[in-house]
Structure 1
């Protein structure tokens, strides 16, 4: 576990191997996943909590499906990404297809966490804002959302933490296990840390397994930092009513 692991590219020789392309691929895929997922997830949560009529059958259907999708195994999303994005639309085995697949995986989690954060804001704040002449959207934007942001941020970070650790859907999607360059755009081939770890563990040489163990430590540190950030945001900025 040293800087060579972070600065070198994968190689057939253990002494020269590193995980730079996997780390950069992880940043690309998870970063795009956040860009796609958080706005859609928060927007859906705002609609379901503030605008949707719970007595309408289609709103109830959407809520049930969101709950069910959050429990679907990740491999199912990999099959969906392979069949629809890679082969159906023809995106290919690129960064964009991986990011969209992981977005489908974590979107229900972001929606559920955002709804819980919005629901936790006392209704008296909404009523007071409306009583002073604010519109519903002004109330949501200036009163509800500032109070709900810590919970939304915490849920989003935890959802992205799950995306970082996923290997099965990306392996099924066709993520390459030997990439000796960093992604340069949405249409670049990619690998990520979990796939690189899987590749090294499957090698017969003990040196590659040592590299896999070091990469696992790097992945655990990343997850620990993200989860610590989520806890810090929640404890520091969460309002108590």
Structure 2
């Protein structure tokens, strides 16, 4: 798990660095600095915003409930996993490894790729904007197609995405296996067989959700006989 995670981070950093160097570097760096400033200046106000004067009920009932349900569902898993891999670390190392570094990484990733997409739309490519909004998975590869060595870069991006899933599923399987097993000591982990069961269950659920999502999109386009007949 450790080696896969390290490989994942290095490849993702390499991919972001490639986009930064071969793209509109000056614009991306300026955007990164401005994004940091926007976050620092707007975070306190957004944190205390209760929508007292203009209440978007539909948005509050939809997005915020989903957002909090997502984090509540992940809280126990992430907390236990971080506690498990942080044994022997100091409080300073724990804070840096779980708060500062992940936030900096996310800020870098979203700023580079997000501003690259914004720059392309600002140059007049409205079709790309529509593609990115309607089918984000296609939008990502459409964005990468504008850079050199696209087949190689696309393969790296696909592999990075696969590693993101594998490492998350592996850590999730570890936590779920530990929760469903009787462990003699806090240092012990569940048996490999139990972890495999949870990993397979996670993979099956993921495949089912992807299939349902594909069928819903196809049904919306009225072009998938297989999904309609299966339902």
Higher helix share: 2
TM range (shorter): 0.3 to 0.5
Normalising by structure 2, what TM-score? Answer: 0.33
